[in-house]
Amino acid sequence: MSKIVSSTIIATTLLLGINNYPNLAVAQTCASKCGRRPLQFVPGQLVRVEVVNRTPRVLALQKSEFSESIAIQPGQTIKFEQVRLTEPNISLLFWDDTGRSLSASLSKLNASTLRVELRPNWRQPGDRSVYVRDDGMINVL
């Protein structure tokens, strides 16, 4: 008799526990809550890069490690020539000479243009570069 009562109590507890938390057993697909797709271009295509300074200060900008830095004025847009994405990975470095941190917002204007908008950021260390990989993926570092 006591085994039957114990089994009934355990079964009832399990059933009521599942009914109180119905989402625990329900699997969902990523399609409902996975966020925005990562920004990507087709490997091998020509891509133009535009950089826009949305800060109130002059920023420094350097494409890859072998070029010299250039100044980008507040509100100014700098367009870089199209690069083929099968070339070695391309880095775009940026910084504020006053040491303030920046945030890079990426957008794909069309099938062949990447826009990088540089904005003030209050969190340290902030963003420091955009990395365009030869597989078409874009990383903000």
Ranges of residues in the chain whose predicted pLDDT is under 70: 1-36, 65-66, 85-88
- Cα–Cα distance measured from residue 23 to residue 118, given in angstroms and rounded to the nearest whole number: 41
pLDDT for position 26: 55
- Predicted confidence at residue 133, as pLDDT, reads 85
Report pTM. 0.72
What pLDDT is stored for residue 120 in this prediction? 95
- Which residues fall within 8 angstroms of residue 50, CB to CB, at 6 or more apart? 77, 78, 79, 80, 109, 113, 114, 115, 116
Residue 98's CB is within 10 A of a number of other CB atoms, namely: 8
Question: According to the model, what pLDDT value does residue 40 have?
Answer: 85
Give the tens place of pLDDT for each residue, 63-98.
876 678 999 999 999 998 877 766 667 889 999 999
- What pLDDT is recorded for position 113? 92
Question: At a CB cut-off of 8 Å and minimum separation 6, what does 134 contact?
Answer: 43, 85, 86, 87, 88, 89
- Please measure the distance between the N-terminal and C-terminal CA atoms of the chain and give it in whole angstroms: 66
